[in-house]
Amino acid sequence: MFRFIFRLAAMVALSIAVIMAVLDTTRTVAASTLVLTPLNTSWLAVSPDTRAAFETLVRTKASPLLWDGAIAWVLNQPGFAVFAVLALLLYAIGYRRRRASQFAAT
């Protein structure tokens, strides 16, 4: 059951990564220069209230150093890359290894 949930979440993250990559590709072609939209910019465009709430939550419950260090760095990376890495990690967690066959193939 948990493997299915992780693989489903990986598929959703990969879908978001592809959508964000297509948007960046379209903007790159239109501008005739490389355009990589940071995740922070995309998040603010879609839902600025949740972005502000998340920042407040992290700063009050965890630490301002966590926000300024790790999370701010991740939010400044291209959105498609962040979601692609997230999809890879979620798929790796939900991956089921195949059992090796006991018998040699003839």
Q: Identify the bridge partners of residue 78 per DSSP, sorted by sequence position.
A: 38
97 contacts 10 by C-beta, under 8 angstroms: no
Check residue 24 and give its pLDDT: 95
φ, ψ of residue 38 to 5 degrees: the values are -65, 155
Check residue 105 and give its pLDDT: 62
Check residue 64 and give its pLDDT: 85
Residue 102 has pLDDT above 90, yes or no: no
pLDDT in tens, 38-91: 999 999 999 999 999 999 999 899 888 888 889 999 999 999 999 999 999 999
Give the pTM.
0.83
Q: How confident is the model at residue 25 (pLDDT cuts 50, 70, 90)?
A: very high
User: In a 3-state reduction of DSSP, which class is residue 38?
Assistant: strand
Check residue 40 and give its pLDDT: 94
